[in-house]
Structure formats: structure tokens, C-alpha cells
């Protein structure tokens, strides 16, 4: 509602405001929404949705325990090949005989007894900010060049909250012809059921939430060629 003062020089406005009951309802809705986000955001990001194809792809930057879990998953499924991906080592490269995370993780798996005849190593080129997508493109290139028969799709083995975004980026790179599943290994740095009680859990959820929204809403492979890592 608007009223005018003397000579039309002053305008007074009135606007509706919530009552005490209205404020209470709004606060209650905010609390419920916040609780729902806290409860479900981690499981949303740490997606587990395998397609049980014939290729298991392991992100090479995973810690040793996760690599061994990937081997267990490989043995439990009907996979033919285990693929390691990853770009150049970001630390200790001059002291290591391995030039990339893909090669390092492959060496760890081989040393643990994994059959090298079923192992495919696909390092990706050095990039500033598009590591996950670069790994997916490297995988696509190798599949196209080698003529490896992909039956039923691939399963991407990764860690924690990185799962949903990683699957989306691999889907972008591989295209609709290849079904992409994902297996998200629990992060040993925190308890996923109470992630908000740990600084590691809060960082993981916050960083991946931002990165996922960027990848979903802003990132364009044709324009950017990259993501948040």
C-alpha cells in the first residue's frame, strides 16, 4: 500500500511482514531443510551406481587401501580389464621412476600380485585444472585406438564425494555409447555418517559440492576442456 505526502513529494510505503507464527514456520522450514541437506548431501555426492560392465577404471591418485579394495571388487565382478588413469605426479616426481599416478598405481597393483596381463595403464597429459576430464579423454582415446571391446559399459572406482562428479565427467568424455557406472570407496579420513564432525569431512563435502555445481551448471567441454580437478 502506498500513500503520498504533501505536494506529492513524499511517498510512504507499507509492506506485509510475517507474524510471530510466520517467523516460527520459516525458521522450522529452514531447520528441516538444513538437516535434510546435512543428512543426504554426502550420499548424493558419494554415488554408488555400478553398471557391472567388463572394464573397471581406477583413478590412480587413490590411496593404497582403496587400490586393494579395487582389486577385491575386480575379483568379485566379471571384469576383463582393470584400467589405471591419472596425470603426472604432483610431488616427488624427480625421486620416482613413475611419471604419472596411472603408472604408480599400476606398479602398486602389480607388486601386490595383480595379473599385469589384465592391467591397462593410461596416463593423461599434464593439465592445470582438468585432471578428471583429461583422464576420461585419455581413456576414450585408448579405447578408440586399441579397439578394446566394451561390453556393458565401464565402472569407475573412486573415493568418497568425488563419485558423482567423476561419473558425470566420464560420461561427457565417453559419450552416450558407453555406459558409465561408479563405485565410491569410503574415505578413511572421516566417518561418512557424521562427516560434519570432521574438518576432513567438511572440506570434502564443501569442495565437491562447489565443484559439482560448477561442472553441472557452468563447465562446457567444448569451451573449457576442464573442471575443478
228 occurs within a structural domain: no
Query: Which pTM value belongs to this model?
Result: 0.83
Average pLDDT, the chain: 87
pLDDT at 85: 96
At 123, phi and psi to the nearest 5? -70, 150
DSSP the chain: -EEE-GGG--EEE------HHHHHHHHHHHHHHHHHHHHHHHHHHS--B----SEEEEETTS-HHHHHHHHHHHHHTT-SEEEEEE-B-SSSGGG-S--BHHHHHHHHHHHTT--GGGEEEEE----SS-HHHHHHHHHHHHHHHHT----S-EEEEEEGGGHHHHHHHHHHHH-TTS-EEEEEEPPTTS-GGGGGGSHHHHHHHHHHHHHHHHHHHT--TTTT-----
pLDDT digits (tens, 9 = 90+) for 79-119: 999 999 999 987 776 767 888 999 999 999 999 999 999 99
Instruction: Inform me whether the pLDDT recorded for 228 exceeds 60.
Output: no
Highest mean pLDDT among 12-16, 127-131, 132-136, 225-229: 132-136
pLDDT at 166: 96
Residue 71: give the domain boundaries: 44-217
227 occurs within a structural domain: no
Instruction: Inform me whether the pLDDT recorded for 9 exceeds 80.
Output: no
11 occurs within a structural domain: no
Closest CA to 105 of 147, 154, 69, 132: 69
31 occurs within a structural domain: no
pLDDT at 16: 82
Number of domain units in the chain: 1
pLDDT digits (tens, 9 = 90+) for 10-54: 777 778 888 888 778 888 788 777 777 778 999 999 999 999 999
Instruction: Inform me whether the pLDDT recorded for 180 exceeds 80.
Output: yes
Does residue 200 or residue 148 have the better pLDDT? 200
pLDDT at 178: 93
33 occurs within a structural domain: no
What would you measure as the largest C-alpha separation in the chain, in angstroms? 91
5 occurs within a structural domain: no
The enclosing domain of 89 has a CATH number of: 3.40.50.620
Instruction: Inform me whether the pLDDT recorded for 197 exceeds 90.
Output: yes
68 occurs within a structural domain: yes
pLDDT at 105: 95
Instruction: Inform me whether the pLDDT recorded for 229 exceeds 80.
Output: no
d(C-alpha 23, C-alpha 6), whole Å: 36
61 occurs within a structural domain: yes
Amino acid at each position: 500500500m502506498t500513500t503520498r505526502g504533501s505536494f506529492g513529494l513524499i511517498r510512504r510505503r507499507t509492506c506485509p511482514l510475517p507474524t510471530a507464527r510466520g517467523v516460527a514456520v520459516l525458521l522450522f522450514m529452514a531447520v528441516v531443510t538444513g538437516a535434510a541437506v546435512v543428512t543426504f548431501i554426502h550420499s548424493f555426492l558419494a554415488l554408488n551406481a555400478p553398471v557391472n560392465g567388463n572394464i573397471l577404471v581406477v583413478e590412480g591418485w587413490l590411496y593404497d587401501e582403496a587400490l586393494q579394495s579395487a582389486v577385491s571388487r575386480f575379483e568379485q565382478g566379471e571384469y576383463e580389464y582393470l584400467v589405471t588413469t591419472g596425470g603426472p605426479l604432483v610431488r616427488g616426481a624427480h625421486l620416482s621412476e613413475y611419471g604419472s599416478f596411472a603408472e604408480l598405481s599400476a606398479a602398486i597393483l602389480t607388486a601386490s600380485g595383480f595379473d599385469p596381463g589384465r592391467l591397462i595403464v593410461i596416463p593423461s597429459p599434464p593439465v592445470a585444472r582438468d585432471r578428471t576430464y583429461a583422464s576420461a579423454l585419455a581413456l576414450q582415446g585408448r579405447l578408440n585406438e586399441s579397439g578394446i571391446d566394451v561390453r556393458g559399459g565401464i565402472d569407475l572406482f573412486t573415493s568418497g564425494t568425488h563419485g558423482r562428479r567423476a561419473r558425470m565427467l566420464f560420461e561427457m568424455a565417453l559419450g552416450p555409447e558407453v555406459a558409465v557406472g561408479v563405485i565410491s570407496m569410503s574415505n578413511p579420513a572421516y566417518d561418512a555418517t557424521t562427516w560434519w564432525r570432521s574438518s576432513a569431512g567438511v572440506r570434502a563435502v564443501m569442495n565437491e559440492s562447489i565443484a559439482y555445481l560448477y561442472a553441472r551448471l557452468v563447465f562446457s567441454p567444448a569451451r573449457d576442456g576442464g573442471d575443478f580437478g
